[in-house]
Amino acid sequence: MAEQLTKILELSALPNVVVQVLPFKLGAHPALESNFTILGLPNSPEIVFVEGLIGSVYLEHEEDLRRYREIFNRLKSIVLSPEDTANVLAELRDSYRDDFQVPLSASAEHPWQHNRRRGQMSLTGQEIHGLAWRKASHSANDGACVEVALVGGRVAVRDSKNPGGNWLRYPARTWQDFISIVKGEGAGRSSHK
């Protein structure tokens, strides 16, 4: 993910590219239920390509074009500026570099040894086995799901079918926001503390 965000930041510096983010915290917006693209070529009428849950459609009628231009203009009025977007993307990229993936390593010399080359942390095999992993309360019939454990103020997540494999580590606040969104409460409204 960090590499993808870096690429977006690089492309946003080009003179013919504008990248702007619509922050999740703004809530509902006019284009929430579908993706759309207004396509235009020189000497050709514009069309709107709408991608939705049940399929895609091309719209050519002037009334449809007007409605989607209005929606697009409304979106442009509420997005972050290109500069603020670049700052948000850089911050997000850096959080993935620092906090996201933690490879298992039984050869670490010290608990939480920092791997400077990768910017990742490792635990010894004994410490990994000592973690209190909890299985998700709603798992499939065969028990296939994810497990979570608290690790140094962060939440580790692993595949319950492959407990010896890699696991991901998230800041506790990020995990709480994820759970709140899944429950339909919205980010920042977690009932978990």
Contact predicate 150/132, CB 8 Å: yes
**Residue scoring higher pLDDT (132 or 60):** 60
Rounded to whole angstroms, how far apart are CA atoms 142 and 158? 16
Rounded to whole angstroms, how far apart are CA atoms 47 and 53? 20
Q: What pLDDT digit, counting tens, does each position of 134-163 carry?
A: 887 666 556 667 888 887 677 888 887 777
Mean of pLDDT over the chain = 75
DSSP line for 38-60: EE--TTS--EEEEEETTEEEEE-
Q: What pLDDT digit, counting tens, does each position of 95-116 carry?
A: 766 543 444 333 333 333 333 3
Rounded to whole angstroms, how far apart are CA atoms 148 and 174? 14
Q: What pLDDT digit, counting tens, does each position of 15-60 carry?
A: 999 999 988 887 788 777 778 899 988 888 899 999 877 888 999 9
